Structures are given as structure tokens and as C-alpha cells.
Structure 1
Amino acid sequence: VWCQAQSSTRNYGPVFEEQPVHTLFPEGSTEEKVTLACRARASPPVTYRWKMNGTEIKMEPDSRYRLVAGDLVISNPVKAKDAGSYQCVASNSRGTVVSREASLRFGFLQEFSAEERDPVKITEGWGVMFACSPPPHYPGLSYRWLLNEFPNFIPADARRFVSQTTGNLYIAKTEASDLGNYSCFATSHIDFITKSVFSKFSRLSLAAEDARQYAPSIKARFPADTYALAGQMVTLECFAFGNPVPRIKWRKLDGSQSSKWIGSEPLLQIQDVGFEDEGTYECEAENIKGRDTYQGRIIIQAQPEWLKVITDTEADIGSNLRWSCAAAGKPRPAVRWLRDGQPLTSQNRIEVSGGELRFSKLVLEDSGMYQCVAENKHGTVYASAELTVQALAPDFRLNPVKRLIPAARSGKVIIPCQPRAAPKATVLWTKGTELLINSSRVTITTDGTLILQNISKSDEGKYTCFAENFMGKANSTGILSVRDATKITLAPSSADINVGENLTLQCHASHDPTMDLTFTWSLDDFPIDFDKSEGHYRRASV
């Protein structure tokens, strides 16, 4: 009998539960701080550090940076000093991991130029474009146009179109009602903060009407190549001048229209875009005088996504280990490795080759936290795992040799020897004081299992497994006793009966008198449950 006391919690390296995310901080915000979150579980608990653009941030008493648990709090953030890429570093005695990188960017929208805008004069019935020329800003803006005064916004219709890419206003065919002053109205949306600015007015005047009809001419067009990330929404713009006002139609030249298309005429929007949406798209503007077309490609790309990740691994000292990870993405992600937060390259016993990491003859110092990192221009993903290299003397306490080993006369017995050991132990077997070796009746397998065949009374006795590695040695003993084999002396025989009749099947057996005998019946290899209340099987008392 033995007793083993173990702690209810084992030590393990840091595992992120919360990581920083890309953050947009509006310039001029009334908020006086920005917080980048980071939290990891580990035993013992972690300590946290932060890096900005790859350089560790010093947490000095009078610094604007401070740690709150694992979070980084930046007081009075300033674009010139604080914009950049941030990374959380979590460490304990088991190792170190780094979080994904998160950018801190500053949103802003400056005022339009104070310069007066030139007036525009066009013949009534012709098309016209007003350039918005928005001021410097980040991120993107939404655009509307004012006619004469706020809030008289120009409605979007088949004749008028405001590009949300450039902010420009297009009027396909001018009318007398279009006379007036035009101003571009640009709005920035950052979280719950909205800021709008508008340009100087530009006056539109119309010359005498030209009633002639003319064929469409596409003026607002999408890029020749539109790159989009899988899962996003893609918007293509197309608008034409013409008299009568042209109709806009869309088609995919190398495939059929998708159910994901959302359309109003100047726009083609594709929700949750996928690789099947890649191809060439055509915009057609048509009226009774003719048609104009424009073509461009949608090219789908994708952020890295894990196909295979590494997992926590325990390995014996001196053994070899191969770890691999794989990620999908477009462009194809490049893969690199980190050990305790530092770049890992091929050296001595360690070989790094793309998504594979190979160790030869592990040593205790190889223990630590490892990360596989896959990245392309659209993003980066991290997979983390802990490697624990074990060195243990043989120990039978968890898995001793069976103490009492019954064996059937003339039969075969298998006696496992499975001590806990690292590296794997060398195993020897003895019977009493006799060293056992492989023979016609005795086999010792490569994993240390002892197999005895054609058992006889002389095989009774004490069998001891001796296990040894460079860390130490141990042994465990069991006692083999030989019994008469259990034999079926009367087996059930085949029978033909009518449905509803009773049938008795007999089974008799001989056995060693020192052992109890139990009969088990099965039907088509499935055990019969005699205790089932609605069953019609019964054991007959003999």
C-alpha cells in the first residue's frame, strides 16, 4: 500500500485570455486616456510588460504609461508620441508569450480649405461633376452635398450620385432646378463621436438648354483592380452622364450573379465576399442613344487562418520532437517561430523550416513557451504551446506489476511492466533469482512486457521487473499462480423452433476448483441482459 500527495494545481505557462485590439482614438476627444487590454492565466501568476514598435515601454513613476493588472493605460495620448504598434508580454517561471500586435491610431478630420471655389457654368441638359477634394482625414468619411444652405441635402436618385470613394457629386443631366450653390459635406464617424465639415460653396449656372440627346459616358468608375478581404463587403461604383439619364446594369463576366449582391443602380455591393466572387465585373450604362461599358476585377485575399496549431507537449529528455503548424491565407502566410517571446532560428539540435520545428535529443533547457506565428500583409495569428522536457527515475507507484497473476495451465500469460520514467527505462525480468531471456516460451517485448506461453506448474513463483535509466532504478514484483484452464465441456447447439415456443440452450464448463465460475451469454456478439424487465431471456438453474 502506498500514498502519494499531489498539489491540486500544477504549474503551467501563460495562456492569453484577453489580448489588445486595434484602437482608434479620436483627436480632440474629451477622454483623457486610452486602455489596451491584456490578461493571461498561469501558475504561478504572470508578470506583464508592454512593447511599442518592438521596444519595451519603461513604466516610470511619472510616466504617462501605467499598468493596471495587465492592461496598459496611456494618459493624455498624443499622436506624435503614442501612435504605433503595441504588444503585451506575459511571463512566469515557465516561460514567456507575446500577444498579437495591436495598433493605436488617431482619428482626425481637418477643415476644408478656406479658398473660394470656382463657379461652374454648363449647358443645361449636359452632365456635370463637382469635385469634393476632402481635407486630410483618418479613417474614411461619408459624403453628402448641400444645395444653397444647411440642411438642404441633395437626395440620391437616378440623375444625381455622390461617390463615397471620392466625395464627388455627379449630375447625369442638368435641369433648371439644379441652379444654385453647392458645398461638399464630409462626416467622420469614430465610435460614438461624429464630426462634420463642409467646403466653400461653388455656384452652378446654366447656359441655354441643349435639348439634343446623347449616348452615355461613364464618369464615376471603380478601380481596374479592387482588392477585398474574404468576409468583408465590397462596393463598386459606376455612374454615367447622358440624355436621357442612363440606366446602370451590372454583370459578372466569368460567372453568374450571386445571391449576395445588393444593388441600387450606381452601386454594386457584395456581402460576405468569398473567393467564388473573384472575377471580372462589368458596368453598363445605357439609354436610347447608345451604351457605354467599363470592366474591372475583384481580387479576393484573406487574413491568415490556422489549419493546424501546436499543443502543450510533455516529452522525455533525450527524445526527438517534431512540431508543425499550418495556416491558410492570401497571399500565402509566412511562418516564423518564437521561444519565450524571442525569434527562434535553426541552431545545433534545433531545426526551423517554415511551419516545422524539430528538436533532436531534447534537454531540460528546451522547456519553455513556444509560439508559431503566421502572417501576411493583412494580419498575423499566433498559436502558443508549452514544451515540458521530463527527466524522471523509474517509478512504479502509479502502475505496479499486478500483485497476483493467475495463469491457465498450458495457456499464455502477459505481464506488463510500465513504470513512469524519462527517458524510457531499460527493463529486465527475473523469476526469483533467475534472469529471464527470450526463448521458445519466454518473450520480453521492446516495451518491457513479459509473455509466458505453454504455462506449467513449474512457472509458478515471483516475477520481478527491474527498470533503470540514468536518473535511477526501481522494481516491482508479482506472484504467478497456475490454475486449471476453464474449458467449455458442453456448448450450445443449433436448433430450429417455431415462433412462440420455448427453447433451452445448454452450456457446461470445467474449471479450477479454487476459482469462481461465471457464465456470460451473448447474441450476435452483444451481451444478453437477463435483468431487463421486458426481456424474454432467463437463466436456468442447474
Structure 2
Amino acid sequence: MLIWAVLVIINGLAAATSPPQGGQSLLMPQNITEGTPVSLPCRLSGRINWFRGAKQIIGDPRRQMDRHGNLHFSYVDVSDTAVYKCSRASNSKVKLVNPVHLNVIKAAGKVKDAMPKLQYSSGTTHVTLGQDVTQQCIFSGRPVPVVTWYHDDNQITETARVKLSFTSVTIKNMSEEDTGTYRCIGKNTVTSNSHVVNLTLPVQPNAELSTTPAEQNDDTTAGKICIF
């Protein structure tokens, strides 16, 4: 029997409480006002997909999934009211977890535009020469921010090796020249906001040891709904 976790809002964040007794199944709606940015966590690993009801979500500029499988809304509309679940396919079976019932409430007045704010970044990534690597920045904001990327202050454009998506840049066959500082800028009609991520090579055996973790990221969505 599937037991839904009950979630309650505490200081703007959803926290899981103990499941109900007696084998009951409950899924409490999370009441969120339209125009609010929301991040939904997924506690699975591997190749993740998200479902809205029974329909798989296809990424668009307003709804983006980070590389840990968490789903981010730049802002929510009333039409986003639904039950959301993340999934991982394994041995021809699909495992659905983390059901969340979003109930988006219409705002009392006109929904105001909002400046871009960072929801997620891939942070500092250690890379190996020749591998493919993706760096990602997801911004909240209304209208949805457009993300542009810079490497050492030069704007990145698509090439045979470099691919751009709504929120990420993917570099194929990494070379030493590709390492360094990358800056993502989220911009909408209100203003712009920027964030810095880094691609670095691993420390050589005869070099000074580094205490930098293998991956640093600004993802704070693990285990909770984040309402920004």
C-alpha cells in the first residue's frame, strides 16, 4: 500500500511529517499564490522524469529540471494546479515518488513582474580533458528570465562542440582552454542577475592538494519544497 507523506508549510518551506496511522492515504494540497517561484525536490538518482498527473512534463523555459532531478518553476500559474511526481525507469519499470499536490491560488490583484533570482546552479565542477560537461543556472522571475552565458567575459555562442539550452551550456570533448570562470546572466524586463560557476581540472599528483569538494552547487531543494 502506498502511503503519502503529509507536508506542511513552515516559514515558507514544506516539511514532511509522519505518515497517517491506520493505513490511510493522504495527499495534502500545498496552497501557493500564482506568480510564486517553486522548486520540487526528487529523492531519486539516475535518469529522472517528472509527471503532471499521468502526463510526462516536457521542459520549457518556465519549468526546468536541474541535473539532480529537482523541478523548478520560474513562477506558477493557476493552470499549474495538479499532482506532481518524479520517476526513474529501472528494469522496464517506472518508479514514481515524491507526490506533491500543488494548488495554485489566484492572486488578489494583478500579478506583479519579478526580478530574476537564482534557484539553482551547478557550482564548481572538476572536469577531465576529453569529457562532455554541462553547466546550468536556473533563475526564477516573471517574465521568465532569458539566460545567456559568458566564458572569461566572452559571450558563448553555439558551435559544433558547444550547445546551449534554456538554462545550460554543454561543452563536448573538453579542452584545457574550456576551463575557467563561466558567468550566467538571467535577464527579464525588470532587471538582470548573474552568477559565477567554474570548470577546473583535477589536481595533479605532484601539485598541492586541494580541499575543494568534487562538486559544489547552490541547490537547496533537497528534501523540501522551496517557495521563493
Shorter-chain TM-score category? 0.7 to 0.9
Match for 2:148 among 228, 249, 258? Answer: 249
2:106 to 208, 211, 229: 208
Q: Which residue is 1:32 aligned to?
A: none
Q: Which residue of 2 aligns with 1:128?
A: 38
Counterpart in the other structure of 1:146: 51
Which residue in the other structure is 1:159 paired with? 62
Which amino acid letter does the alignment assign opposite residue 77 of structure 2?
A: E
Instruction: Report the Cα distance in structure 2 between the residues aligned to 1:241 and 1:183, rounded to whole angstroms.
Output: 21
Partners of 1:271 and 1:280 in 2: how far apart? Answer: 17
Maintained 8 Å contact 1:117/1:201: no
Identify the residue that residue 204 of structure 2 maps to in structure 1: 331
C-alpha separation in 2, matches of 1:159 and 1:187 = 25
RMSD of Structure 2 on Structure 1 (CA): 2.2
Show CA shifts across 1:255-280 (max 9, x none).
56473211112111100011111100
Shift, 1:249, TM fit: 0.8
Secondary structure at the counterpart of residue 201 of structure 1: strand
Cα-to-partner distance string for 1:206-259 (whole Å, 9 max, x where unaligned): 222251111111101111x21111111111121111111111111112556473
Matched-pair identity in %:
25
Aligned to 2:13: none
CA 1:194–1:280: 2 relative to 1, 3 Å:
farther
Post-superposition CA distance 1:468-491 (Å, at most 9, x none): xxxxxxxxxxxxxxxxxxxxxxxx
CA distance in 1, matches of 2:6, 2:138: 24
SS at match of 2:56: coil
Q: Give me the TM-score of the superposition, normalised by structure 2.
A: 0.72
Other structure's SS at 2:69 match: coil
Q: Distance between the aligned counterparts of 1:194 and 1:252, measured in 2?
A: 41
Structure-2 separation of matches of 1:114 and 1:298: 42
Which residue is equivalent to 1:531?
Answer: none
Q: What does the per-residue CA deviation read over 1:317-359, in whole Å, with 9 as the maximum and x for residues that have no partner?
A: xxxxxxxxxxxxx51479xxxxxxxxxxxxxxxxxxxxxxxxx
- Per-residue deviation at 1:195? 4.5
Q: What secondary structure is seen at the aligned counterpart in 1 of 2:127?
A: strand
Structure 1's unaligned 5+ residue stretches are 1-112, 135-139, 302-329, 335-542
Aligned partner letter, 2:65: V
**Comparing both chains, which one has the higher relative contact order based on Cα–Cα distances under 8 Å and sequence gaps of 6 or more?**
2
> Within the alignment, does 1:238 sit opposite 2:140 as a pair?
no
Compare the two structures and name the one with the higher strand fraction: 1
Q: 1:299-338 maps to which residues of 2 (within 5 A)?
A: 299-301=200-202, 331-332=204-205
Query: 4+ residue runs of structure 1 moved beyond 4 angstroms?
Result: none
Which residue matches 2:22?
none
The one-letter code of the counterpart of 1:147 is R
Given that residues 218 and 238 in structure 1 are in contact (C-alpha distance below 8 angstroms), is that contact kept between their aligned partners in structure 2? yes
Partner of 1:174: 76
Shift of 1:172: 0.8
User: Conserved in 2, the CA contact under 8 Å of 1:124 and 1:207?
Assistant: yes
Superposition pairs of residues 67-466 of structure 1, within 5 angstroms: 114-118=3-7, 119-134=29-44, 141-149=46-54, 152-163=55-66, 165-188=67-90, 193-209=91-107, 210-223=110-123, 225-253=124-152, 257=156, 259=159, 260-301=161-202, 331-332=204-205
Q: Give the number of aligned pairs.
A: 181
Match of 2:25 in 1: none
TM-score, length basis structure 1: 0.32
Q: CA deviation at 1:142?
A: 1.3
Counterparts in 2 of 1:114 and 1:299: CA distance versus 1, 3 Å: farther
